[in-house]
Chains A and B, each alone.
Chain A
Amino acid sequence: MWSWIPSNTSLIWQLTWENLKLGVLPALYGLVISLPLGIIAARWRWFYPPVLTAVNIIYAVPSLALFIALIPTFGLTDTTVIIALTVFSLCVILPNVVEGLRGVPPAVTQAATAMGYGPLRRLALVELPLAIPVIIAGLRVGVVSSISLASVGQLIGVSSLGYLFIDGLQRSFPTEIYVGIVMVIVLALVCDLILVAVRRALTPWLARA
């Protein structure tokens, strides 16, 4: 039963790579979209509640349903899964961007202004760096969820580690299923650890404290 693994390593790696792309790209796109939206929402308070409500409603949409809703427009392709997962990541990362920026103590922003920082420099050099831990916390959930949800894409034929689940089901072959589950978890945890390392690298002042 376990001999299946060594004879199928290239398949496993290929599926893992597909799953990685389907998991990381959406989280990155989600971050890229959340940053400007979050900056606006943190600054102009009236903007946030409507955006948050829209985001919450979309978050309630089941992943499979969202994949399906996108099929007429984007087909049974990777793009469909990536767009749907990007929307989900948005739902998790945007609130964290806003919270992170809002969590910067007013005394710090005032000190920066007093030192002559214009709003843009202040944002880039003071507020965003201080918001990094909270933003990265959201990014971690986004990446881990996307990697796990990407396997559901297999139900609409988009290749990922989910293939091992479906194939394992059809052949009643548990080994494949175990491998699939373990690889998804390992992939997600590795990405999680990388993000923790990134956070440590970007916030050296926290380590010194």
Chain B
Amino acid sequence: MSFFSYAWDWVTTSANWHGSDSIPQQVLAHLGYCGLSLLIAALIAVPAGVAIGHRGGKGAVVVTNVANAWRSVPTLGLLILLAVFLGFSALTWLVPLVVLAIPPILVNAGEGVAGVDPGVRDAAKGAGMTTWQQIVQVEVPIALPLILVGLRTSAIFVVATATIAAEIGLGGLGRFIIDGLASEQYGPVAGGALLVVILAILVLALFALISRLAVPAGLRGRGRKE
């Protein structure tokens, strides 16, 4: 039997859609972990990235190197460490996921704002805008495609990593995977994995939609590096 036949059999078994620990419940739990972590990470990293990008200079290089080092932190290890010390508190899953989500957002927000044409910045100043207006009305909209790419990358990482949270007893789609592995039933393992993949693809599609709606037509080409 292939991965897909195992997964399909399990997902189409109606028993899995009802009762406690059902598919809809775990999907919601999963989305809850991801949504909150991403929101907090964005609230921290977007302003920080914009500020660093606006100042320019060596900040960008330092941020890139720090972000690379940051990537080396094994999320599974961090999660387990917090579980041992904090047990089932919300911080146990929130901290590792937020830590994971910050680097891509930070780096991209910084790059996006730093990459704004100096001529445009100058024109904004010349038009009488205050620094705040400059940043909010000119630099951030121009940086928006890259900021959205950063948010998207982080969203994907978070959706993927939230599956690991089940290892320490939390819910989410990882629950099916971990429990299945423990009881040597490949059905839930494959099914859970398939659901996570579908969720990740939906996130990609969602961001494509947001990008289309939020980014003014004139700036749409800037998401790709030239």
**Chain A residues near B (Cβ < 8 Å):** 56-57, 59-65, 68-72, 99, 140-141, 144-145, 147-148, 151-152, 154-156, 161-162, 164-166, 168-169, 172-174, 177-178, 180-181, 184-185, 187-189, 192
Contacts and interface: CB of A to CB of B under 8 A. Distances in A.
Contact of B84 (A62, A68, A168, A187): A168
Contacts of A181: 73-74, 77-78, 81
B186 A71 contact: yes
30 contacts: A60-B197, A61-B197, A62-B200, A64-B163, A65-B193, A68-B3, A69-B3, A69-B190, A71-B189, A72-B186, A141-B68, A144-B68, A148-B71, A148-B73, A152-B74, A155-B167, A155-B181, A161-B74, A162-B77, A168-B80, A168-B81, A169-B80, A177-B80, A177-B81, A177-B84, A180-B74, A181-B78, A185-B73, A188-B72, A189-B72
B7 to A, nearest CB: 9
Interface residues of B, number: 44
A64 B160 contact: yes
Contacts of B40: none
A165 B72 contact: no
Interface string B163-195: 110011000001001100100001001101110
Given A156-B181, A165-B76, A72 B83 contact: no
Interface string B45-78: 0000000000000000000000011011111111
Nearest to A173: B84
Given A152-B76, A184-B77, A68 B177 contact: yes
Given A148-B73, A181-B77, A189-B72, A65 B196 contact: yes
Given A60-B201, A61-B200, 4 more contacts: A62-B161, A65-B197, A152-B164, A166-B167
Nearest to A177: B81
B1 interface: yes
Contact of A141 (B71, B76, B160, B196): B71
Interface string B138-162: 0000000000000000001001110
B27 interface: no
A189 B69 contact: yes
B2 interface: yes
Nearest to B160: A62
Nearest to A191: B72
A179 to B, nearest CB: 10
Nearest to B156: A60
B85 interface: yes
Interface of B: 1-3, 6, 68-69, 71-78, 80-81, 83-85, 156, 159-161, 163-164, 167-168, 174, 177-178, 181, 186, 189-190, 192-194, 196-197, 200-201, 203-204, 225
Contacts of B201: 57, 60
A64 B177 contact: yes
A178 B81 contact: yes
A115 to B, nearest CB: 27
B6 to A, nearest CB: 7
List of 5 A-B pairs having minimum Cβ-Cβ separation, nearest first: A62-B160, A188-B72, A65-B193, A60-B200, A181-B77
A148 B193 CA distance: 20
B72 A64 contact: no
